[in-house]
Structure 1
């Protein structure tokens, strides 16, 4: 694929963005914007050192809901093009533009009170990730699931309040330095169960990523312009996922 055609494609899809705005627990939808801190803007952050890189900036939607999540539960994170979902009838970019291929990653940070905790200065650990498998990106699966991304909360996590950071990285323009797009919001959750693991391989946001990490500055296209990684394995940025 010629660089010029890639750039033209990016320009035409500049508004195909997304917002994480709902949680489900074992198949039960917890409600629109319940316990999820979200902005009105669906625009990404592109600077990995942005001060708001933990939970996004200009938060307009936040309430006191703390979502109960049993350790071992199937958790869903729902993405929509804009707040509420589709921007218009038959919105082709809901939940996100199909061009915006990339991984989806989930982090937790232990806090005293999830409803009131500030996102700065926290220690984050990774509990789930999905990248590129057999030519299919995590974003492709999310689109096929009508905006839902699912993962299993590790069974060993210690009970208590956490902020849950769900992040989507769109790599359609990432062959150009600084053009990977990061979409993230944080949910307020309370883990229950008998686990004892309080996390490992902690990172800070900002600080966890470098702009030239191999999973951030990358050309995901093959010689024919297909966004399949060109047959190369994709390395998801950040630390290893917590193991129980």
Structure 2
């Protein structure tokens, strides 16, 4: 299979994950760029941020059109992560490739386990749908921003559970709100990374991004037909297999 076909196929899968689950796509994008398309870990995490920004923004617009974005909660959550994302993004380009790959593999394992576990979401207060515990929001947002910047992932697989269980955002709005957080954090991390020159293969990044954007729209429609738990299990199994492969590769 040619690199172009691989890029198109991988992009579609990433877009489906982001559009349908509000996360998970970026942790599939990095290994796809490394192992399928031959990117270095540093280039892959930078390219993944570009892909995730375009894809998440597309998904965000689709969810916003249906009124499934909590702008106040998501805005505060995202704002808390801007500085940590930028600082971690600047630091990550100085980390050895093996360490970066190993750290990413561990994070991918955590993401897969979270996807495979099903939990009943908490409900937000019907009278105050946008009431936000500011301290919890800032703390969770800062931590997520650091992860986004350091490993080049949007962090939706962490943002969605945090929004549901910590901030009591209903699942119906958590996916769309997480895409707002991902877009802001990824943009901050990318801005920091671009201060250090990185060689990127745009001939592969462009088609990867294009099919990811189209996949995000399909993912949003798929989420309306298939239960979130089913989608999480499918992507969780795939991600766990990828994480194990990366762990073996990192210690080999």
Output the TM-score relative to the length of structure 2: 0.27
Q: Which has the higher helix share?
A: 2
Output the TM-score relative to the length of structure 1: 0.28
**Larger relative contact order (CA 8 Å, sep ≥ 6):** 2
